[in-house]
Amino acid sequence: MLYARLLGTSWQLAAEPVRIAHAAGTTTRAHGRLRIEHGRTPVARVLAWLLRLPRANPAAETELIILTLTDFVVEIAVRKQLGDVYAGERVTHAIMGILYGAMIAKLIPTLSVWWALPTGLVVDWVEIPPALRWGLLAMAAGVFVSGLRDLYAALEFAGGSWPWKPEMPAAVKR
């Protein structure tokens, strides 16, 4: 258990339901009420405002979902027949999923504000430095040329496998 190892003897100070949920090694869901308190210092209040933390509440409705990253590593056994996946890749995907969920959670309130606004398309030109324009143009040209090269290789034209050695057809192999 990661938390028990990280916290050492302090792990025993955590509430028993929390220790049980983390020890299970699977996804755990709980529903209930949570007391939300904020720090009383000016810095804590400013941070709570900047991070858009929920307002202080003595009994906020809450749903808790505990995911262990080992849940994602289990998929390795499932995908063995398909060529396997490294555990690091699985954990990376889990972290990306968590970050995506956080982004969506921050985006939904903004979308609700946008939804209430009148529709319309307004062009708002922004001054872009010339060096940035040329840099982006060069990158776009590189992507376009790379796409053409991939198309050439996909159509199996002569030399399309460069810089890799072309595979010989099965009939030619001996």
Average of per-residue pLDDT values in the chain:
80
pLDDT tens sequence across 85-107: 677 777 787 788 888 888 888 88
Can you tell me the distance from the alpha carbon of 160 to that of 16, in angstroms, rounded to the nearest whole number?
63
**Where residue 61 falls among pLDDT bands split at 50, 70, 90?**
confident
pLDDT tens sequence across 124-174: 888 999 999 999 999 999 999 999 998 998 888 888 877 767 666 555 555
Residue 1 to residues 65, 83, 146, 154: CA-CA distances in angstroms? 17, 28, 46, 48
Among 55-64, 112-121, 144-153, top mean pLDDT goes to 144-153
Give this prediction's pTM: 0.32
The pLDDT, as a whole number, for residue 60 is: 86
The pLDDT, as a whole number, for residue 36 is: 84
Can you tell me the distance from the alpha carbon of 15 to that of 140, in angstroms, rounded to the nearest whole number?
55
Cα torsion 70, 76, 79, 85: sign: positive
The pLDDT, as a whole number, for residue 52 is: 82
- 57 close to 79: Cβ distance less than 8 angstroms: no
Average pLDDT over residues 28-53: 83
Q: Is the pLDDT confidence value at 48 over 70?
A: yes
Can you tell me the distance from the alpha carbon of 38 to that of 45, in angstroms, rounded to the nearest whole number?
7
Q: How many helices (H) and strands (E) does the chain have?
A: 7, 2
pLDDT tens sequence across 5-40: 777 888 888 888 777 776 766 666 777 888 888 888
Task: State the number of CA atoms in the 13 A half-sphere of 169 facing the CB.
Answer: 3
**Where residue 113 falls among pLDDT bands split at 50, 70, 90?**
confident
